[in-house]
A and B are shown apart, each in its own frame.
Chain A
């Protein structure tokens, strides 16, 4: 099943064109990596997919779960199964991580006609995931991302991913700013999440996350376009030659 299909996607931010025609298909069971230098449009792509205000599609099409996203709000896209892992997760003072996660999971459940999650089941599930991500339960009582270290913020993103179980995870530079230990924990979370039913897109600057997560496809993005696609081997070429060697080809 196609989880995501981009056909000739051209998009702008504040009337400045950033994405210059992207074609990409992600099927269930696949893990893709999009690699590219800073300013290549990777983050713009995630924001455009998520439907963020200020990002507009000027040409081409986006289909999520087989249906065009035209007119869908940010939350509708999220509820249809798109999850965005943030490069810089924002802080929400006063709202505990626990409350935030509960409201998020309940929003998903209500959208498919289910009841809100029983608090006990929720706690059991959240504690279990936290443990796997080596996060203490104290962490759940803290305000969302407030005072979290870089590693904690990223692990918190993976916690949300594992709890919400989206169809398509689009993880924007989830590996940036992590030390090796944190990187391994994050990779473990991604590996536990991936299945034949869902898809993952890792947006990354470096190849190092790919040492821990096996990817099926690698795409090189330069100047708002995918200039080369291949298998995991391509990532190693980038590592060896740099983007310049591939880019303007």
Chain B
């Protein structure tokens, strides 16, 4: 499988969405529709303990009473939740080793540039043997199909496995932390996820351990009429460190597909979690047909003193993106960061940003948001910084920059600051700029074609965020930016 991998990321630079193929594989699905019987069936297929089924059902009942949020600056036809299938999985048991994984699935990940092979890494960059390695958990529709490097990680006491395996093998940890950051009834989509989530990744880093490699999960939606509801839980125990990467793609389909994930991060005293996302769900076609609805709740809690949570996201895909990776800064001197690039083209809509809630003393947070709009797209930053009464000398710095390409797109900024401390320092900077005809003319007169020029200008605009990404992802992200802007300039 190695022959393709080095060039696989180059496949992203096709003239269209290169990850848009469908894998032909035998699947078992639960028919569309949602009620308590379906939830019970999901739980049963996953051999879950009773407490988890109860937890799901409780979430479902709460969800029934919740209205779908309408405050975001996005527009879409009402979603028929009864028309969605809530479970799709390749048939058969989960393979025990990589050798047993269906070759069709291996080919799928190979095509996407995701090596499910322990000698290899995310494609796209030439490797030197000393370069950091990446362990991958591959989630295909509703289930995890493979997780690499598990054994080596186990030697360090690191648990990295699918959520289902965690429920089976580490039920205490799961029960202790599940829903502790994003409660069941947090919001409409989080409640739905809590009821029907199928798989995802689980990470536990023990006290004082610096995770010896990057961990990553690669989400792939393949089945038709299926929603993806994954759940990720990362717990960093005292004094530990982990860098986690998340990537995602889906086939090109004419209908919209729902993706409603929940990610919970817990950082205990002196622990540090770095969470990076390159989101490349299918964005729909040029007319705005099809694409993923990406309604995701991501939140971390800095529970212990001096803990640190950093979110970095590059959002290039999805028809609609609705997500606000947030940090609750409970521990004294804890640090929260959010670095974001959200790019929209054609008819894409993004409403994204962050919430920083300062509870502990001397807590500090940074928000750097770069929105790029092209075509007829709409891109909104929405943020909330809150300084609670106990957050003595809390500080926040927020910078929101918007870049417009062409004259039909829109950028909006909705920052909210709620401070109950007179000694809080809250800074907010915002800019809006345009890729001008003069800039393009200068580049083109120097022999640089228009699309390359736009990519260069956009990369420059996003530099502060891109440099926060691990190297493998930064390369992929730069290329994705270029692909996303295909056709953005006439």
Contact = CB atoms under 8 A, between A and B. Distances in A.
A and B assemble together: yes
Interface of A: 50, 52-53, 73-75, 78-79, 83-84, 86, 89-96, 99-100, 103-104, 107-108, 111, 143, 160, 164
B457 A74 contact: no
Interface string B439-459: 101111111111010001101
B459 to A, nearest CB: 8
Contact of A93 (B433, B444, B445): B433
B287 interface: no
B442 A75 contact: no
A107 B460 contact: no
Nearest to B450: A75
A96 B457 CA distance: 10
B99 interface: no
Contacts, number: 72
B449 A89 contact: no
Given A86-B442, A90-B436, A78 B447 contact: yes
Interface residues of B, number: 23
B438 interface: yes
B447 A92 contact: no
Q: Identify the 8 closest CB pairs spanning chains A and B, nearest first.
A: A94-B460, A95-B460, A74-B444, A104-B446, A107-B447, A90-B438, A78-B447, A75-B444
B456 A100 contact: yes
Contacts of A99: 456, 460
Contacts of B449: 75, 107
Among A89, A107, A108, the one with the most B-chain Cβ atoms within 10 Å of its Cβ is A107
Contacts of B446: 78, 100, 104, 107, 160, 164
B149 to A, nearest CB: 33
B448 A75 contact: yes
A75 B438 CA distance: 14
A52 B440 CA distance: 10
13 contacts: A50-B445, A75-B447, A75-B450, A84-B445, A92-B442, A92-B460, A93-B433, A93-B460, A93-B461, A103-B448, A104-B446, A104-B447, A107-B446
A232 B61 CA distance: 90
B429 interface: no
Nearest to B403: A94
A104 to B, nearest CB: 4
A201 B266 CA distance: 66
Contacts of B75: none
B127 interface: no
A104 B448 contact: yes
A94 B461 contact: yes
B408 interface: no
Contacts of A111: 447
Contact of B441 (A52, A103, A143): A52
B456 to A, nearest CB: 6
Among A94, A99, A100, A164, the one with the most B-chain Cβ atoms within 10 Å of its Cβ is A94
Interface in B448-490: 448-450, 452, 456-457, 459-463
Among B445, B460, B463, the one with the most A-chain Cβ atoms within 10 Å of its Cβ is B445
Among A50, A53, A79, A92, the one with the most B-chain Cβ atoms within 10 Å of its Cβ is A92
Among A86, A91, A103, the one with the most B-chain Cβ atoms within 10 Å of its Cβ is A103
A74 B445 contact: yes
Nearest to A52: B441
B77 interface: no
Among A75, A83, A91, the one with the most B-chain Cβ atoms within 10 Å of its Cβ is A75
B431 to A, nearest CB: 9
Contact of B457 (A53, A75, A79, A92): A92
Contact of A107 (B437, B452, B462, B463): B452
A92 B439 contact: yes
Nearest to A94: B460
B444 A94 contact: no
Nearest to B441: A52
A162 to B, nearest CB: 13
B401 to A, nearest CB: 10
Contact of B460 (A50, A75, A143): A143
B439 A78 contact: no
A78 B446 CA distance: 6
A47 to B, nearest CB: 8
A107 B448 contact: yes
Nearest to A111: B447
Contacts of B460: 92-96, 99, 143
Contacts of B463: 94
Contact of A90 (B433, B442, B447): B442
A21 to B, nearest CB: 25
A128 B462 CA distance: 30
